[in-house]
Amino acid sequence: MTVRRNRKVKILATLGPASEKKEQIKQLFLAGADVFRINMSHSDHETLNTRVKLIREVEKEVGRPIGILADLQGPKLRLGIFADTKVELTNGSRFSLDSSDKPGDTSRVQLPHPEIFGSVKEGDILLLDDGKVRLRTISTSADSIHTEVVTGGPISNRKGISFPDSTLSFSALTPKDRADLDAAVDADVDWIALSFVQRPEDVAEVRKLSRGRTGILSKIEKPQAVERIHEIIELSDAIMVARGDLGVEMPLEKVPGIQKQITRAARQAGKPVVVATQMLESMINSPMPTRAEASDVATAVFEGADAVMLSAESAAGDYPFEAVAMMNRIAEEAERDPYYTNIIYAQRAEPEATGADAISAAARQIAETLNLATIVCYTSSGTTGLRAARERPQTPIVAISPILATARRLALVWGLHCVVSEETGILDEMVDRACSTSYKVGLAKPGQRVIITAGVPLGTPGATNMLRIAFVGSDGLGGI
């Protein structure tokens, strides 16, 4: 079975109760999903291993590398309990959070996270229940935070609390996250999504623990991460614009602009960027999205994002396959739009001053000038494939790798049709394989030309140093 997408942007679908059987996973892939997300907030290690096993079985059946992302839960900050289960806070009233485990009332409640008290300062805003209730800090002590209610409302037991103005002193990894990280790495997932990123050190900690065995995708969902986005991008392998929590901790009107800023910064750095949260939210319960949601997905495609993500739509919704198919159709249509190419070109990043980047940029320019059928990049570590995608060419890209783990990881990357093939260091074999692969996947016909980039000798990360144009022969092999 040869499955080739008619779009460059990739689709990341979350698995859950509505999509946890093998046949369901296969249907999601055939509908358009390129990478599957396993949300560790709702998955134990047995569930993780079962879903990874099923995805790998589907991968064998469809004959295409499929990426797997394990999304760590991150710290969950919650209030304690109230004596009457629920209270109503009024504007202008005083309300305290403290370390006492005594049930709360309209004047105070427990904050069972003692490490937070030293991180909050006067004037900081606190958000309760996804921002429905807003508090402003008046004063703090070693075991309490005294606030004024800015926006009142009902608050009940164990509601979430966030601190958009405060850089909290604890790690982005909880003990559960560390155990989940080990389990995910042992299960050979391709990507780890790190929640609650505040600073570059959070990413460095995960990189140290994972020891290079998986790609690290940093979720940008806090203002502190936005402020240090370039440092975080540098240490990450990929970035996610997690608009849900970002929209809670920052004014909603700022989120669209921040989405564009993060997307362009990641593209500039050549790192994959995923746009996530509420993309087709209404399809949890409806077979059709709203017009605004369709436009939202298209906007991410026009922006040149590497992937767009479905959460509850595919994990727990009533129409998981329809949601993936709809996202696929929206993406295809956006990329066929006459303005798409011009918009992508206007945002193209200048190549970095390295030989490898110059060759990738030249391959894109030559392919488009000569109207070549494909750009074929041989990539062992994945770096050459990332550089080819960074150029955002009109020409289809085939990424050939001898390493299955590399091909799986690159399944997240814009425009790459990934193929696993045996390693060869013989130039003629590389040319034949590039031409025959392009021919077999339906991207090149006999008589057309392809352009080939590689690092010679193969297996040297980042050493893209070869450029070759070849004809596809009548037998599908290469010719001069």
Assess whether 409 carries a catalytic annotation: no
Whether residue 443 sits in one domain with residue 359: yes
Q: Express each pLDDT in 178-210 by its tens digit.
A: 999 999 999 999 999 999 999 999 999 999 999
219 is catalytic: yes
Of the listed 277, 374, 383, 453, which one is catalytic? 277
What is the per-residue pLDDT across 78-104, written as a single tens digit (0 to 9) for each? Answer: 999 999 999 999 999 999 999 999 999
Q: Which residues are CB-neighbours of 419 under 8 A, at least 6 positions away?
A: 398, 399, 400, 401, 407, 437, 441
Q: How high is the pLDDT of residue 1? A: 45
Q: Which of 8, 37, 271, 387 is catalytic?
A: 37
Q: Which of 120-124, 232-236, 385-389, 426-430 has the lowest mean pLDDT?
A: 426-430
Structural domain ending residue among the three candidates 303, 337, 371: 337
| pLDDT, position 204 | 96
Range(s) of the domain holding residue 422: 355-479
- Regarding whether 153 and 91 lie in a shared domain, the answer is yes
CATH number of the domain enclosing 467: 3.40.1380.20
Residue 39: CB atoms within 10 Å: 20
Q: Domain check: are 48 and 176 in the same one? A: yes
Which candidate in 76, 78, 178, 228 is catalytic? Answer: 78
One domain, residues 38 and 133: no
User: What pLDDT, in 10s, does the model give residues 398-415?
Assistant: 999 999 999 999 999 999
pTM for the complete prediction? Answer: 0.94
In the set 8, 219, 392, 409, the catalytic residue is 219
Active-site residue, 53 included? no
CATH number of the domain enclosing 132: 2.40.33.10
Per-range mean pLDDT, top range of 232-246, 420-434, 448-462: 232-246
For the chain, the domain total comes to: 3
In a domain, 3, yes or no: no
Regarding whether 464 and 385 lie in a shared domain, the answer is yes
Which domain-ending residue is among 162, 182, 217? 162
* Mean pLDDT, range 209-235, rounded to an integer: 96
364 and 243 in a single domain? The answer is no
The owner of tokens 């990043």 is: 349
- The verdict on 392 and 299 lying in the same domain is no
- b vs e for 382-406, b when ≥16 Cβ sit within 10 Å of the residue's Cβ? bbbbbbbbbbbbebbbbbbbbeebb
Task: Kindly report, residue by residue over 265-294, the tens digit of the pLDDT.
Answer: 999 999 999 999 999 999 999 999 999 999
In the residue annotation, 199 being an active-site residue is answered as: no
Domain presence at residue 236 = yes
Domain CATH code at residue 59: 3.20.20.60
